[in-house]
Each structure stands twice: as structure tokens, then as C-alpha cells.
Amino acid sequence: MMVGCQKELSFEGSNTPAEGSLQSDVTGDCLPKTVNGTYVTGTALVPATNTITVQVNVVKTGIYVVTTDTVNGYYFRAASTFTTLGATTVTLRGNGTPFAAGVNNFVVSFDSTFCDIQVTVIAPLPPGVGSLAGSPNACAPITVNGGYSPGVALTSGNNVVVQVNVTTAGNFNITTDTVAGMWFTFTGGLALSPPPQNVTLQAQGSIPAATTPGVKTFKVKLGTSQCTFDVTIAGPAVYTIDCPNVTVNGTYQVGVPLNPAFHIITIPVTVVTPGPYSITLMGFGMTFTGSGTLTGVSGSITLTGLNSTSPAAPAGVKTLTLGTCSIPITVVAAPVINWKFNVGAIVYQGSSSTVPGDIDYDNTTFPPFTFFFYVGTNAVGDDFEFNLLDQSGGVTATETYNSDAAPFSQASEFYFQDFNGTLDLEAVFGSSGGAKMTFRITSHTIASKTIVGTFDGTAWDNLSSTLKTIVGGQFTVVYP
């Protein structure tokens, strides 16, 4: 009986390993999966363009490594940090040189999960011959995609589209000079088809933070042909804040970590000069951050709370200042914590449910059995429940209850679902994967109807189909 429960998270530093699962279909193929770039026998992969993308369901933030095996002389790898939970797309960069043509099957691995992805390697093409549309003047037409700002990392969305007149099909190498720390390039095969052909040149390198904003001119070369195009490097956005309409979302409690999914400040702005922004707002133990690009004449800036921070005592109205704008945040007293446990670095905790019937100590309906039901809640919507069944004598100190015990013995049941759908745990008799949770009774004070205990073990996650380790479990229950 899972009834309205809720959760709070606590994250350690970014040096802790992330947890999650690769998404795959019934055949084991990565889902979704994308193969980018051209793969040619004897040609070294370009990490920026020879990539594969997969999706990971992140259940614990932290550092991660997603990698493949080495097949046909090359492999793919990604390493970074997951900062948010849920479905996340990961791009793995290619390394090595294929030595034979054909279809290569790679096994992608992350945490304890795997999925497959296929890459086709073709035989080398002869050198292609062609010219750039617009040569020897400005490239015409030209499309510049993505935003460009000092110190802001380039992504796959940073590219330019030129047009090429192919006269001999084959392999092409089209590149620009380096300006402001970046350049654009394309390497791959082009067929002989009605001219002109659109060709995408991917941005490489990085724009130094000290770069002066303005228009930068690039020269793109193909054989003996050459044309030019401009890229505008934007300066920081200039804007004014609509202070009366700033909104603060989420419930803020002393000592309870902020959650980026709930603790959000939305700031409406009038844009004076479009461009990028990066804001860190700090105070009273809390930190909010946000970055992006403002365009047009109006917009909004979203700042999310860092989950490594929490409001400091005492409770009350805390006022953060952003420019000329004062942002009040109401912080309430720390909640009473009746239950908590860890899954990896994440702490789940909360209070007892106040719904009638969610907590019950029943030693009269089914004598000689005693049934003890407990449901926990918190501010963000987790469901936490455990049930104990005692053969005789009631729930007393030093007793132990196990989820793998046969029904109507000294048995326990454990269930948990987190608010954002990344965990669906259970440890009951007959659970998959050999799940086993052990509950230990520390004390039972009959006069105050208070039961105190601890628990730990493993639970089966119905979402990732893996066992999760539960540690540090504790509870204090006052029953009706």
C-alpha cells in the first residue's frame, strides 16, 4: 500500500561516482542511438565529429565514464559529471583508426548496464574535386549556426553550412583558418550530384575568455578555391530586471538541501543588448546559478538552487540581492525527520504520514500475529513504506525482521518510490534479484507508542532492473 509520500536529497561533491542505466530496446540496442561522422578505413577518427550519442537514466549525480569496447581499431568514450537526475543524452567521442570496412557492433557500458550500437566503416574514397560557391569572394550562400561568446564552450550546434560544387566524387577535406581560437572543418565523402551541395563544417577549438567581442572573418578553403564568411562573437547581455515580477519557487527549510528541480528563481528581464549571461546568486547558505543567451527585447533568466547548499538557521525571510533587485525567500524551520536512508551518496528522508490508516500497530485483528504498518512522507513527493509481521509477542526490542522470511514468520516489507521517477524499490518475500532488507528494533516504548529502529540491505529497482544497496536506514515511529 503505497500512499502519498515524499523526499529530500543530499548530494556529495562531484568526485563521487554517478549511478544510472543505459536505455535500450528489447533487442539490446541503445535507445535512442545516433552515429555521427564518416568512418573510413585507414583514416583516424576526429573526436569532435566522429561521435555516438546514447541516453542514460541518471539516478545518482556525480562523475561518470561511459565507454565502448575497442572494435576494428577504434572505440568511443565520454567522461564528465552528471549534475541532474533523469534521462540525459551523452555524447561519446571516437578515438583510433578503423582498419577494415564493414559494420562494427560496439557494446556501450555504464555503471552495470550495457547496450549495443552499430557503426559502418567504408573503404577509402579517392580525393574529390570541387569548388566553393562564392569563391573567391564571400561564401554565398552561408549559414552560421549557434552562439559564440568569449569563454563559452563550443558544441555540436556551432557550425557553418557552405555550398560546394562537386565535379569529381570522392573524399573532401574542407577547412578554415583559425580565428579567435576556433576553426571550422569537414572531412568526408561527397557524391557527384546536381550542384551545389550543402556541406556542414563543424566548429573546433575554443574561444578564449579574453577575446574581444565583434565580427570575426574566416577564410574557408577547398583545393584552390576560397571564400570568406563572418562570425559575430557576442559580448555579455545587457538587461534590466522586472523586480516586482520575480518569482521564487519551492519550499525552503533550514538545513534541507536545495533541489534544482524545485528550488528555482525566475527573473523576467527587458533586453537592452542581446548576448550571453552567467549569474551566481549566493547568500544565507544558499547558492543559485544560471547561464544562457538573451535574445529579442524581453525574456527571462532562470536560476536553480545547487543541491550542495541549504538555507541556514534561523528560519525567517532571507533577502538576496541581484543588481538593484531584492529577492525575498521565506525559510521555514527544519522539518522533523522520522525516517532516512542512503542509496549511494543520496540521502532520502522525511516525516511520518498524517493520513489516517497510514500508520498502524495492529495486534488485535489477527491474533496471535501483530501487523505494523508505516508510511513516510516529505516535501517533494516520495513514497516510503515498510511493514513488519510478528508471529507472537508484539514488536519488541532486539527483534530482527527480514524481507526474505516466509510469510507469517518474522517478516518485513520495504517499498520506496522517489518523486521524479528514477527509483522504484522493493524488498519483499519473492523479490527479484535476491533483494533482502533487514529491520532491527532498537526500542518499543508502549506508554508513548513509540518504536525506534534501523534497517539496511538491498532492494530491487523495478526501473533499472538492478539491485540497489540501502545503508544508514533509521526510523522513529509514533503510532495511534
11 has pLDDT over 60: no
* pLDDT (average), residues 154-163: 91
Name the 3-class secondary structure at 433.
helix
Please report the pLDDT score of residue 408 as a whole number. Answer: 61
12 has pLDDT over 50: no
- Per-residue pLDDT band for 14 (boundaries 50, 70, 90) equals very low
Peptide bond into 311 cis (omega under 30): no
Residues 6+ apart with CB under 8 A from 238: 271, 272, 273, 275
pLDDT, one tens digit per residue, over 117-128 is 999 998 888 889
**Distances from the Cα of 15 to the Cα of 60, 61, 354, angstroms:** 12, 10, 38
> Nearest Cα to 296, choosing from 331, 269, 256, 334?
269
- The whole-angstrom separation of Cα 41 and Cα 50 is 13
Residue/partner pairs of 82-86 with CB below 8 Å, 24 or more apart:
82/18, 82/20, 82/56, 82/58, 83/14, 83/260, 84/58, 84/260, 84/261, 85/58, 85/59, 85/60, 85/61, 85/261, 85/420, 85/422, 86/57, 86/58, 86/420, 86/421, 86/422
Is CATH 1.10.540.10 the classification given to domain 129-233? no
CATH fit for domain 19-121, picks 1.20.1510, 2.50.20, 2.60.40, 1.10.1060 = 2.60.40
Please report the pLDDT score of residue 6 as a whole number. Answer: 31
344 has pLDDT over 80: yes
Name the one residue in this structure whose C-alpha cell is 583558418.
177
- The whole-angstrom separation of Cα 291 and Cα 155 is 15
Residues 6+ apart with CB under 8 A from 244: none
* pLDDT (average), residues 246-261: 90
Buried b (16+ CB within 10 A) or exposed e, 340-352: bbbbbbbbbbbbb
Provide the mean pLDDT of the chain.
89
pLDDT, one tens digit per residue, over 429-438 is 888 888 999 9
Please report the pLDDT score of residue 239 as a whole number. Answer: 94
Name the one residue in this structure whose C-alpha cell is 547558492.
287
* pLDDT (average), residues 312-336: 93
Share above pLDDT 90 across residues of the chain, in percent, rounded to a whole number:
63
pLDDT, one tens digit per residue, over 35-64 is 998 898 888 898 888 999 999 999 988 889
Let me know: does 371 contact 412? Beta carbons within 8 Å. no
pLDDT, one tens digit per residue, over 261-305 is 889 999 999 999 888 888 999 999 999 999 888 888 999 999 999
- The whole-angstrom separation of Cα 67 and Cα 76 is 6
**Domain edges within the chain:** 19-121, 129-233, 238-332, 339-478
Which amino acid belongs to residue 94? G
* pLDDT (average), residues 341-364: 91
Rg (CA), the chain: 29
Let me know: does 35 contact 117? Beta carbons within 8 Å. yes
- Number of CB atoms found within 10 A of residue 332's CB: 14
Share above pLDDT 70 across residues of the chain, in percent, rounded to a whole number:
96
Let me know: does 193 contact 166? Beta carbons within 8 Å. yes
25 has pLDDT over 70: yes
User: Is the fold of 19-121 the same as that of 129-233?
Assistant: yes
Please report the pLDDT score of residue 2 as a whole number. Answer: 34
Let me know: does 8 contact 258? Beta carbons within 8 Å. no
Which of 147 and 361 is assigned the larger pLDDT?
A: 361
- The whole-angstrom separation of Cα 151 and Cα 211 is 8
- Per-residue pLDDT band for 444 (boundaries 50, 70, 90) equals very high
